Amino acid sequence: MDVATTTYSAPWGMSLKIISSVTSVLLIGIALIGLLTGPKGNWIWILSMVIIPLGILIVTALFTVRGYVLTPDALLVKRLVWTTPIPLQELTTVEADSNAMEGSIKTFGNGGLFSFSGSFRNKRLGPYRALATDIRHCVVLKFDRKAIVITPEKPLAFVNQLKAMKGME
């Protein structure tokens, strides 16, 4: 691994653990009820009670945020089976802010089943994109036209390293 590249884990916060656990049990329970009690051969029943709940579970699991790789040119968000690159050329500020997601409203995306991912909005940040797992470990990356919130395990170490890489501060 390149010396200028560092990997940060994305630990799950308590709220993500609870939401993911309860929702997973609920979706699996719906699928089991659908399989065990429904009319056999009724495709509408199978679709609504088995395929859709299990599909939601599988699709959201694919979007799980597993960690972050910081390079001089990009932040790589590690997902379950792919990596989402975020170029850092237009980065203007970076700060650790444990309250960054406070009062947020999800406008599009996933609000807690294996991650907090998608478009959100709050009074402090306005519209922003979240790729988060623990809302108490937020790092806010501000660009010319957007803001992104991530949650690496060591927010201050991440911020300090990124600032050093980009010659900020």
pLDDT digits (tens, 9 = 90+) for 134-162: 999 999 999 999 999 999 999 999 999 99
Domain interval for residue 94: 1-169
- Give the per-residue pLDDT at 169: 67
| 2 pLDDT tier (thresholds 50, 70, 90) | very low
Helix, strand, coil share of the chain (percent; to 5): 35, 30, 35
Domain count, the chain: 1
How far is Cα 156 from Cα 134, in angstroms, rounded to an integer? 14
Q: Is 111 exposed, middle or buried (0-12, 13-18, 19+ CB in 10 A)?
A: middle
Q: Hey, what are 44's tokens? A: 């509408």
Torsion of CA 167, 73, 128, 143, to 10 degrees: 50
How far is Cα 66 from Cα 86, in angstroms, rounded to an integer? 15
pLDDT at 31 over 70: yes
